[in-house]
């Protein structure tokens, strides 16, 4: 089953379990929002890569009421859920069904590119290539922030990440069905280390590259494009 098929399959129930499957939910998403450097009243153009059901995009929309948002995802059903979310918020947005790993060629520049729990589905070289693509998609002074999961630097560290996550989500009340669905989606993960991804940003020209938050495998990191 492909990534697209997996996320199409679980789109309707995806958000319901999100808090139980991300033990550090508030800090994780909160950190991604907190590091965005623009004034709240700024008229910024925002691109969300692998937007899914629009959870992070909606948080950005709430924090930046003048922002113009474009949500991209490979799953039509996920974007349909995102469209419902934005309709309920009475907030306009653009929705694009595309594989951003291969189709990141826009006719406009973005001030902010965001992503959450998506880029880890790309192979290592795709992640590195994406850094350069994102850099090109940003306007001067633009900002990229990714809230995602990373591979442990060693096999032992990775084992601890996985063991800790399983213990936390079980304690947090995740049902057998939710855990099974999460584990099914994880079969398509192609995790890479944090070090590799930060290095990819620097190599692509990003400045002030930094990891702002880390909780086992959950990380928030960013980079800036010079003005």
159 located within any domain: no
Please measure the distance between the N-terminal and C-terminal CA atoms of the chain and give it in whole angstroms.
43
The residues, any chain, with a CB within 8 Å of residue 185's CB and separated by 6 or more, are: 6, 7, 10
Residue percentage of the chain with pLDDT more than 90: 81
pLDDT of residue 11: 46
Q: Which helix (H) or strand (E) holds 183?
A: helix 176-186
Instruction: Report the alpha-carbon distance of residue 20 to residue 13 in Å, rounded.
Output: 13
123 located within any domain: yes
pLDDT of residue 207: 98
Q: Name the domain count of the chain.
A: 1
Instruction: Report the alpha-carbon distance of residue 35 to residue 88 in Å, rounded.
Output: 27
Instruction: Report the alpha-carbon distance of residue 194 to residue 151 in Å, rounded.
Output: 7
Question: pLDDT per residue over 109-135, tens digit each?
Answer: 999 999 999 999 999 999 999 999 999
Length of the chain: 227
Mean pLDDT over 6-17 rounds to: 54
Residue percentage of the chain with pLDDT more than 70: 91
What is the layout of strands, in order, in the sheet containing 45-49?
Answer: 94-97, 68-73, 45-49, 110-116, 138-149, 218-224, 207-215
44 located within any domain: yes
pLDDT of residue 181: 86
- The angle formed by the CA atoms of residues 9, 32 and 151, to the nearest 5 degrees, is 65
20 located within any domain: no
Range of the domain at 135: 26-152+189-224
pLDDT of residue 18: 85
* Whether pLDDT at 1 is above 80: no
Higher pLDDT, 63 or 8: 63
Mean pLDDT over 182-202 rounds to: 93
59 located within any domain: yes
| HSE of 83, CA atoms in CB hemisphere, 13 A | 12
pLDDT of residue 185: 86
Comparing C-alpha atoms, which of 221, 222, 217, 220 is closest to residue 21?
217
pLDDT of residue 200: 97
203 located within any domain: yes
Question: pLDDT per residue over 55-94, tens digit each?
Answer: 999 999 999 999 999 999 999 999 999 999 999 999 999 9
117 located within any domain: yes
pLDDT of residue 182: 87
Q: What is the CATH number for 77?
A: 3.40.50.150
Instruction: Report the alpha-carbon distance of residue 121 to residue 100 in Å, rounded.
Output: 11
Read off the pTM: 0.92
- The packing angle between helices 3-10 and 76-88, to 10°, is 40
34 located within any domain: yes
Burial 73-86 (b: 16+ CB within 10 A, else e): bbbebbbbbbeebb
* Whether pLDDT at 14 is above 70: no
* Whether pLDDT at 15 is above 90: no
């Amino acid at each position: 089953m492909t990534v697209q098929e997996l996320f199409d399959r679980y789109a309707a129930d995806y958000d319901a379990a999100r808090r139980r499957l991300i033990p550090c939910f508030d800090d994780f998403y909160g950190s991604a929002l907190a590091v965005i450097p623009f004034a709240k009243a700024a008229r910024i153009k925002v691109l969300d890569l692998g937007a899914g059901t629009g959870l992070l995009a909606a948080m950005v929309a709430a924090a930046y009421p003048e922002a113009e948002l474009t949500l991209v995802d490979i799953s039509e059903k996920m974007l349909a859920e995102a469209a419902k979310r934005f309709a309920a918020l009475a907030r306009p947005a653009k929705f694009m069904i595309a594989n951003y790993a291969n189709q990141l060629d826009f006719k406009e520049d973005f001030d902010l590119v965001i992503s959450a729990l998506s880029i880890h589905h790309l192979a290592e070289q795709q992640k590195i290539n994406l850094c350069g693509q994102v850099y090109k998609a940003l306007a001067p002074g633009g900002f990229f922030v990714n809230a995602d999961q990373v591979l442990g630097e060693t096999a032992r560290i990775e084992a601890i990440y996985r063991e800790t996550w399983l213990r936390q989500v079980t304690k947090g009340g995740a049902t057998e069905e939710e855990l099974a669905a999460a584990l099914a989606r994880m079969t398509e993960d192609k995790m890479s280390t944090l070090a590799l991804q930060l290095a990819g940003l620097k190599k692509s020209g990003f400045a002030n590259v930094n990891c702002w938050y880390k909780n086992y495998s959950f990380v928030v990191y960013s980079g800036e494009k010079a003005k």
